[in-house]
C-alpha cells in the first residue's frame, strides 16, 4: 500500500512538472536583420499556423535578401514578396508569395494592431472573404496615436461595415421575394421588406458585435499608437520587442511609386533565436 502511494505521488509530481514546463515555455523569438538595423520579434503561440509557417520560411532562408517593398509613414512597413529579391528600381512589387495562403487566425481583441504589431498581409475581402493570409507577406505596424473622438469614429465605421455585410447576406436570402415585389412594382412592399431586413440586421449586429474598443485598447491607441481600423480583419501573430526605433526609421524613408522606398530597404537575414 505504501509503495502504491509513493508511486502515485511521484506520478502526480511528474505530471505537474510537465504541465509547468508546457505553460512556461519561452515564446519563439525572431531576429530580422536589415540594412537599417536589427528588429527582434516575438511570435505568438495563439497563432500557431502563422508562427510555424514563419519559422519554416525563415529556416529556409526565404526572407533573406527580400525588400520592404511598401512603406507608409504613420501606418506600416510591408515585406515578404520573393519577387523583390534583386528587383529593378521601376519593378512593381507586392503580388509574390510561396504559392499558398494560411487560414486566418484573428484573435481580436486579445491581439490587436498596436505599434510594433506583426501581422499578415492578404488579398481584399471581395476575392478573399475568409480573410486568409498571404503565405509569406507581412507588415509591421508603425501607426500613430488617436484621440478619443477618432477612436469613436473608427468604432462607428466598423459597425457600419458589419451591418452592411449582414444586410447583404439577409437580402441575398430574400432575393426571390425582392424580385417578385420589383416585378409587381410593389414599392410599399419593398420598403416594408427593407425595414424588416434592417431590423434583423441591427439585432444580429447587437448580438455579436465584431468590433469593440475596450478601455484598455483605447488607452494603448491613445498613448502608444497603432492602426485600429485594421483590427478584426487581419491576423496579428507577433510583436516587436526590440528595435522599434528601426521600424520608425524605415517608415520615414522617401518613397516613390506604389509606396516603394526609393533606396532599397533590405532584409539581410531572418534567424530564429534559440
Q: What does the pLDDT look like over 226-246, one tens digit per residue?
A: 999 999 999 999 999 999 999
Provide the pLDDT confidence category of residue 17 given band limits of 50, 70 and 90: very low
pLDDT over 70 (residue 23): no
Confidence (pLDDT) at 11? 46
For the ranges 35-49, 93-107, 154-168, the lowest mean pLDDT is seen at 154-168
Average pLDDT on 39-62 reads 98
Confidence (pLDDT) at 5? 52
pLDDT over 60 (residue 2): no
Among residues 154, 84, 76, 158, which one has the least CA distance to residue 118? 76
Residue 227 CA to residue 54 CA, distance in Å, equals 22
In the chain, % of residues over pLDDT 90: 85
Q: What is the pTM of this model?
A: 0.85
In the chain, % of residues over pLDDT 70: 91
Average pLDDT on 59-80 reads 98
Confidence (pLDDT) at 9? 47
Confidence (pLDDT) at 175? 94
pLDDT over 50 (residue 138): yes
Provide the pLDDT confidence category of residue 22 given band limits of 50, 70 and 90: very low
Confidence (pLDDT) at 182? 93
Cα–Cα distances in angstroms (integers) from residue 117 to residues 64, 186, 202, 247, in the given order: 21, 52, 32, 11
Q: What does the pLDDT look like over 182-204, one tens digit per residue?
A: 999 999 999 999 999 999 999 99
Residue 248 CA to residue 215 CA, distance in Å, equals 26
Q: What does the pLDDT look like over 245-261, one tens digit per residue?
A: 999 999 999 999 999 99
Average pLDDT score over the chain = 91
- Which has more confidence, 26 or 64? 64
Q: Are 80 and 63 in contact (CB under 8 A)?
A: yes
DSSP string across 175-238: HHHHHHHHHTT-HHHHHHHHHHHHHHHHHHHHHS-S----HHHHHHHHHT-B-GGGTTTS-EEE
Amino acid at each position: 500500500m505504501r509503495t502504491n502511494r509513493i508511486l502515485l505521488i511521484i506520478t502526480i509530481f511528474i505530471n505537474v512538472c510537465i504541465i509547468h514546463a508546457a505553460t512556461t515555455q519561452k515564446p519563439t523569438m525572431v531576429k530580422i536583420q536589415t540594412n537599417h538595423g536589427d528588429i527582434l520579434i516575438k511570435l505568438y503561440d495563439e497563432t500557431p499556423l502563422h508562427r510555424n509557417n514563419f519559422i519554416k520560411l525563415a529556416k529556409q532562408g526565404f526572407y533573406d535578401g527580400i525588400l520592404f517593398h511598401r512603406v507608409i509613414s504613420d501606418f506600416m512597413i510591408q515585406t515578404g514578396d520573393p519577387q523583390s529579391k534583386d528587383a529593378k528600381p521601376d519593378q512593381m512589387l507586392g503580388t509574390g508569395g510561396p504559392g499558398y495562403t494560411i487560414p486566418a487566425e484573428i484573435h481580436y481583441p486579445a491581439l490587436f494592431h498596436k505599434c510594433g504589431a506583426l501581422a499578415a498581409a492578404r488579398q481584399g475581402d471581395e476575392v478573399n472573404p475568409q480573410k486568409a493570409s498571404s503565405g509569406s507577406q507581412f507588415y509591421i505596424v508603425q501607426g500613430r496615436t488617436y484621440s478619443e473622438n477618432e477612436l469613436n469614429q473608427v468604432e462607428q465605421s466598423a459597425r457600419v461595415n458589419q451591418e452592411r455585410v449582414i444586410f447583404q447576406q439577409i437580402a441575398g436570402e430574400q432575393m426571390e421575394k425582392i424580385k417578385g415585389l420589383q416585378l409587381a412594382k410593389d414599392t410599399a412592399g419593398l420598403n416594408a421588406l427593407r425595414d424588416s431586413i434592417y431590423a434583423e440586421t441591427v439585432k444580429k449586429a447587437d448580438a455579436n458585435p465584431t468590433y469593440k474598443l475596450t478601455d484598455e485598447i483605447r488607452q494603448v491607441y491613445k498613448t502608444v499608437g497603432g492602426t485600429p481600423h485594421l483590427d478584426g480583419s487581419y491576423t496579428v501573430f507577433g510583436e516587436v520587442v526590440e528595435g522599434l526605433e528601426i521600424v520608425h526609421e524605415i517608415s520615414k524613408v522617401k518613397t516613390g511609386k506604389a509606396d516603394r522606398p526609393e533606396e532599397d530597404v533590405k532584409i539581410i537575414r531572418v534567424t530564429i533565436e534559440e
